[in-house]
Amino acid sequence: MGSAQPPTQRACSPGHDTRCSLAWLWIWAKTDRFGLSRKRGNSPWNTLLAHCLDTAAVCGALFDHYLAAPVRARLADAFGAGDVAKARSILMFLAATHDMPGKAIPDFQLGFLQSRDPELLAHARHWLAQAQSHGLPLDSTHRTARQHAHVTARYLPGLLGCTCCTDDEDETGPEHHGLHAIAALLGGHHGHVPNSSCIGTAECDLTPAWKSLQRELLNELARLLDVDLTELPALVRPERPCVLPLFAGLVVHSDWIASDESRFTYRTPETAGTNTDLWWRSSREEAAAAIRDLRLHRWQPTEMTWAEQMPDTPQPRPAQKAVIDARITGQSLVIIEDTTGGGKTEIAQYLTHRLALTCGYHGAYIALPLRAASDQIARRYRDYLTAILGSREAANLAVVHGSAHISEINRELKEASSANLDPSLINITNCDDPDTHQPASVVLHTWYEERSRGLLSCFGVGTIDQLVLAPQKSRHWFLRLYGLVNKTVVIDEAHAYELYQQQLLGAAIAWLADAGSSVVILSATLPKHQRHALLAAWCSGLQTQPSTPNPTGPITIVDSQGRCRTLTSARSKTSRKHRTRIRLMADPGPEALAHHLLTQHTTGITTVIRNTFIRAEALHDALLDQAEKQGWKPEEILLLHGRFFEKDRAHHQATLEAKLGPHPDPAARATTANPDRPERLLLIGTQVLEASLDYCTDHLYTDLCPFDLLLQRRGRQWRHTLNRPRHKHLAPLTHVLWTPNEDGLPCLPRPGTPGVYDPYILAATWHALHQHMPAHAPLTLTLTSPTDTQPILNTLYGDPPPDGQTPIHHLLRTLYPHWQRRLRDERKAAEGRELWPYDQNGNPTTYEELASGPSHGAGDDPDHPAHLAARSRLGTPSIDVIGLYQHPDRITWDPAGHEPADLRRYHPYADQDQEAHRLQRRHFLLNTVHVPHYWIGDLPNPTTWTKPEPAPALTDRPTLLLTPDGSPLDGRLAHLTYTPQTGLSRRRRPQPPVTS
DNA sequence: AAGAAAAAAAAA
């Protein structure tokens, strides 16, 4: 049978049709590389049919239990002309073919004989003899290895009946676009959707015997999965763009679960016989158990009032009440602008429930700007879910960010998981049975810990970066979109993201809208252009126009037709009015400033926030130089910045919060000051002191910085009311340090240089402060928030520079074009990476545009140059370096030599190694320091710096091997030093040895 | 002339 012939159903049914051999049943797909299958007493290799059936079974179970209702509806349209059951079967069948025909070629099959493990090799020889005797045409000449996924992409369309790929040129017909699309997406199951030239290179020279084997295997799959191959081509219509990443994601999700040999039994004709109907049954049973164990079942919320959901705050505040009364039903974009303390987090929690109830989402993802904030909100969301899930549901909640595996809340959730009922005792059918009880709990299965898996958990809290990366091509990127579109996605602190991220968030929102999910956006007041951009992105995904293109807030609700509602009377009255006193102070330089601080602030906590690492370090040095003379002890002067090993920084931050934070006992906070607060302290640092750390300073000095950040920094002053008993009636005084030039204008970084802050924004901030300076006391001004501050922000970021003829006006007009260029560059950086579901003319994105490759962003690929590799944030590139200490007889994690480093290599999937692997990963992360690229200049590849030997775990990891006193062993790095107290420095070169 | 922050690699 040649591939030119139309596919036929039920051509071959094992055990019933004696004309067919069962040679295809000997085609293998997986070998037991880690011994997990054999340990369970099963086969050392798995047949392709079994793996295909396992994948199909998982796909079906995910379709039934995991996918959100709108997602299923879109898949039903794309794979079943609206018929859900039909689409389900076809999706299962297509998921099964991800390795078919890719692995059903002689090249791949002979790869079994390349096994390095002698035991596996013996099994391979046995397999070959058996397979040959059952008619599998294999001669044992070695062939070139091919990417099996690309072989699937190359040959599947023809096997499924696309007429453009027949062998006989006379019968060539038109290309079936849908079949080629799904084949390419299946070809992407290792993470990158291949492009056409990549698929072309997977050309194999197949004998008619192999073609017919492939056909027989495919027919057997179709028979078992009850798919009519003759009607399949007409039903496969993946036209809506969201269907493409959804399909790719569903396949990979299914494959990853089905490839877990601790859940799915390897089956061969020798171990499981040839009754494939029994194989299919056991696939379904094991898939059901896997879905249950991984808790991949949708949230099934019941109607609940606000008071039932929020027992601690049963009385909704104004903004909360407005949202409740809006009775939101169906897919929505909800933008809530309110000040901190207005209860936005609770509204968002309430909306995840409300939207899951009315739309059928499987859960929710909450995105925040920082990892630390994610951990905090995850804790609150855990408590919320625990309260409302009811007694028969349990759910996974994953913290999703780069260091989630050392997150404390993740650890607690994982512990709750292992303490829970043995999941193997529970059948999947219990999901829908209200009488079955299971202890209520919010947990996390360790399965979700591996990278790229966090967003697959029904509930997640994590960084905004996960969302920003979702519409950018990189390995397994579509899995992010797939995980997100089944949820309500909450974007917190929406005003806090730079233009680059805002733009990519727009793309993500458009995909979410196209797939039927809902988005909740929380912010303090949004600049209006940002609100409009969010609305435009939403409507672009819906391919509609907003009914009100320029809504005003503070609460905006947009439905799936683009109809906008604005709730106006809801802004919370609770926002306290803050007054801020600001004094502009010419920076006298580090020595004089140090003298000033040591003599003027001999009591209380004094904090200096500098814009650059160099400035912070210089001031710290000057302070230490003069400390003794002024009667200060060195330990009363602290330095904090971002260039510490994670564990040292965590230690300093914890100390800071313990000493300068509120009372350790939450119950005592309102009445008692922190007893550990020292009499005095000088704290010098960079932007790490600006946000997220909960400490309170009495006096504050800051470098001139953008106005919004100035307010942010000022928030650390008199933060806890109990720390300012003597100043109740006064606003705190913040000193803003600036350097005047000869014209009396601020010295600014030259425009176009990669400075921290744009000179235009700095000059405009300086100008705004001067404008508010009272004429009678021209150094100190008082600002009331938000009445004074909001207009300043709007002007700063929204308006062109003012007319006027004074020097500052001229300066602003000179700098403004550079600022605009900077914004344009950021937008371009986003445009070079982002994928949208529809272009500006409404044309849907096609599968060809999703193509990427393993070299995507690696530099040698002209289609995807390095500067367009996926990034969640722009900024100075840095590399993560692992710090280790060399002692005479051992390598340790710490300078004192107490914690020996285990640098053996562990395999993350091999049973016995998992715990050691996790511990090692944890150590690596804790001993990582981020080194700016320009600090190491044109030094060779950091992975080649002097390393301990032997250290297989450090292969390919940039390593900084230090002496116990913090000097690098590699002479090329002699300009760097590290101490746990001051961090990594590149300024203090070690003195050259005195030569006599 | 350059901060903080986040991210990154299994399905043979």
pLDDT in tens, A873-927: 988 888 899 999 999 999 999 999 999 999 988 887 777 788 888 889 899 999 9
* Crossing angle (nearest 10°) for helices A276-293 and A243-258: 100
Asked if the model's pLDDT at residue A384 lies above 90, the reply is yes
* Residue closest to A925 by CA, chosen among A451, A466, A469, A365: A451
Which nucleotide shows the minimum CA-to-C1' distance to residue A469?
Answer: B7
Q: In degrees rounded to 5, what are phi and psi of residue A870?
A: -55, 135
Does residue A549 lie within 7 Å of nucleic acid chain B, judged by its CB? no
Please enumerate in sequence order all residues whose Cβ is within 8 A of that of A786, keeping only pairs 6 or more positions apart, or say none. Answer: A339, A525, A575
How many Å does it take to go from CA A589 to C1' B1? Answer: 19
Binned at pLDDT 50, 70 and 90, residue A865 comes out as: low
Q: What pLDDT does residue A5 have? A: 40
- The residue to which tokens 């009015």 are assigned: A577
Which nucleotide shows the minimum CA-to-C1' distance to residue A462?
Answer: B6
Which nucleotide shows the minimum CA-to-C1' distance to residue A685?
Answer: B3
How many Å does it take to go from CA A528 to C1' B9? Answer: 40
Q: What is the H or E stretch that residue A225 is in?
A: helix A208-225
CB atoms within 10 A of CB A591: 15
pLDDT in tens, A635-670: 999 999 999 999 999 899 989 999 999 888 888 888
How many Å does it take to go from CA A190 to C1' B10? Answer: 8
Which contacts (CB < 8 Å, 24+ apart) does range A946-951 have? A946/A970, A948/A884, A948/A886, A948/A891, A948/A901, A948/A903, A950/A903, A951/A891, A951/A903
Does residue A955 lie within 7 Å of nucleic acid chain B, judged by its CB? no
How many Å does it take to go from CA A585 to C1' B1? Answer: 24
DSSP for A947-995, please give it.
--SS-GGGTTS-EEEE-TTS-BSSGGGTT-EEETTTEEESS-PPPPPPP
Which nucleotide shows the minimum CA-to-C1' distance to residue A498?
Answer: B5
Asked if the model's pLDDT at residue A856 lies above 70, the reply is no
Q: Compute and round to an integer the Cα radius of gyration of chain A.
A: 31
Does residue A876 lie within 7 Å of nucleic acid chain B, judged by its CB? yes
Q: What pLDDT does residue A7 have? A: 39
How many Å does it take to go from CA A659 to C1' B5? Answer: 25
Which nucleotide shows the minimum CA-to-C1' distance to residue A112?
Answer: B12
* Mean pLDDT (whole number) for A118-128: 94
Least confident of A313-327, A498-512, A842-856, A888-902: A842-856
The whole-angstrom separation of Cα A605 and Cα A736 is 17
* Residue closest to A703 by CA, chosen among A688, A687, A715, A691: A687
Does residue A35 lie within 7 Å of nucleic acid chain B, judged by its CB? no
Provide the mean pLDDT of chain A: 88
Does residue A401 lie within 7 Å of nucleic acid chain B, judged by its CB? yes
Does residue A474 lie within 7 Å of nucleic acid chain B, judged by its CB? yes
The whole-angstrom separation of Cα A14 and Cα A224 is 11
Which chain B nucleotides are covered by protein, judged by CB under 7 A? Answer: 1-12
pLDDT in tens, A258-304: 999 989 999 999 999 999 999 999 999 999 999 999 999 999 999 99
Asked if the model's pLDDT at residue A329 lies above 80, the reply is yes
* Crossing angle (nearest 10°) for helices A371-388 and A344-359: 60
How many Å does it take to go from CA A124 to C1' B11? Answer: 20
> A566: helix, coil or strand?
strand
**Prior bond of A318 cis (ω within 30°):** no
Does residue A470 lie within 7 Å of nucleic acid chain B, judged by its CB? no
Asked if the model's pLDDT at residue A145 lies above 90, the reply is no
pLDDT in tens, A93-104: 999 999 999 999
Does residue A749 lie within 7 Å of nucleic acid chain B, judged by its CB? yes
Binned at pLDDT 50, 70 and 90, residue A2 comes out as: very low
Q: What pLDDT does residue A173 have? A: 82
Asked if the model's pLDDT at residue A868 lies above 80, the reply is no
CB atoms within 10 A of CB A261: 23
Residues 832-871 of A with CB under 7 A from strand B: 871
Does residue A715 lie within 7 Å of nucleic acid chain B, judged by its CB? no
Asked if the model's pLDDT at residue A144 lies above 80, the reply is no
More confident: A812 or A908: A812
CB atoms within 10 A of CB A378: 30
A610 close to A684: Cβ distance less than 8 angstroms: yes
Q: Sign (positive/negative) of CA torsion A827, A832, A833, A837?
A: positive
Q: What pLDDT does residue A913 have? A: 80
Half-sphere exposure of residue A93: CA atoms within 13 angstroms, side-chain side: 29
User: What global pTM score does this model have?
Assistant: 0.91
Residues 440-459 of A with CB under 7 A from strand B: 450-452
Residues 774-813 of A with CB under 7 A from strand B: none
The whole-angstrom separation of Cα A493 and Cα A368 is 7
Does residue A462 lie within 7 Å of nucleic acid chain B, judged by its CB? yes
Residues 480-509 of A with CB under 7 A from strand B: none
A57 close to A286: Cβ distance less than 8 angstroms: yes
Three-class SS of A86-148: HHHHHHHHHHHHHHCCCCCCHHHHHHHHHCCCHHHHHHHHHHHHHHHHCCCCCCCCCCCCCCH
Does residue A256 lie within 7 Å of nucleic acid chain B, judged by its CB? yes
Q: Sign (positive/negative) of CA torsion A457, A461, A462, A468?
A: positive
- Structure tokens that stand for A201 in this block: 């290179």
Does residue A612 lie within 7 Å of nucleic acid chain B, judged by its CB? yes
In total, chain A counts a number of residues equal to 996
